[in-house]
Amino acid sequence: MDTKSNILRKALELFNTTNTQASTTNHIAKAMQISPGNLHYHYKNREEIIRELYKQMKVKYTLQPSEFPNTLAELLDANKKSFNIQWEYRFFYTELLFLLSRDPQLKKEYMKDAIAKKDRYRVIFKQLQNKQVLSFSTESDIDYLVDMILLIEQFWISYIKISSSKQPDINIAIKQIEKTIEPFESQL
């Protein structure tokens, strides 16, 4: 693994165990046993490292249209995969509002991605409706379901962290999504 990749790996480890404020570029360099200058050769500052980690995470969890789920079981599997990736990058969701408030570039990218994710969910739910897996009375029902699922996805780690000190059981988050979808399941 090259130095640039090792910096990201070590930064992710430190951000997840402490937080981004307690893990400066000097802390990351020290933990890697390299000079701060060597780290700064690859990354100008901590924000650049965080943006790069965000990009890594996004590549891992973004579904391409060919990967859109065709059944509820596939949707829940995709959510489970997403939750595991979020746990791998948990610092980001724990500190989400703070990170976005400190880095306008990250905020712009995140907001663009959030809109795209919302649009992907709308397409998925419309496809599931066309397959008679889900049933919606109005377009606002779809919007409601998308918003509820995104709320669960974006804040489940923070919720777990304030209610428990142990690693979360991802199946609990999946159950919350299942229960949120349940009223929209087709009764065929």
Residues 28 and 76 in one domain: no
pLDDT: which is higher, 138 or 169: 138
Residues 84 and 27 in one domain: no
pTM across the whole model: 0.91
Residue range 135-155: mean pLDDT, rounded:
95
The per-residue pLDDT for 33 is 95
Tokens of 31: 């933990």
Residues 103 and 80 in one domain: yes
Residues 142 and 60 in one domain: yes
Residues 21 and 63 in one domain: no
Residues 153 and 108 in one domain: yes
At 63, which CATH number?
1.10.357.10
Residues 33 and 55 in one domain: no
Residues 102 and 180 in one domain: yes
Residues 55 and 114 in one domain: yes
Q: Is 74 exposed, middle or buried (0-12, 13-18, 19+ CB in 10 A)?
A: middle
d(CA 100, CA 92): 10
The mean of the pLDDT values for the chain is 93
Dump pLDDT digits (tens) for 114-142: 999 999 999 999 999 999 999 999 999 99
Contact 150, 103 (CB under 8 A): no
Give just the sign of the alpha carbon dihedral 119, 139, 173, 110: positive
Dump pLDDT digits (tens) for 60-108: 988 888 889 999 999 999 999 999 999 999 999 999 999 999 999 999 9
Residues 99 and 177 in one domain: yes
Q: What's the number of domains the chain is made of? A: 2
The per-residue pLDDT for 165 is 59
CA angle 12, 51, 115 (to 5 degrees): 115
Range of the domain at 11: 3-44
Per-residue pLDDT for 113 more than 80? yes
Residues 40 and 85 in one domain: no
Residue range 29-42: mean pLDDT, rounded:
96
The per-residue pLDDT for 10 is 97
d(CA 145, CA 136): 10
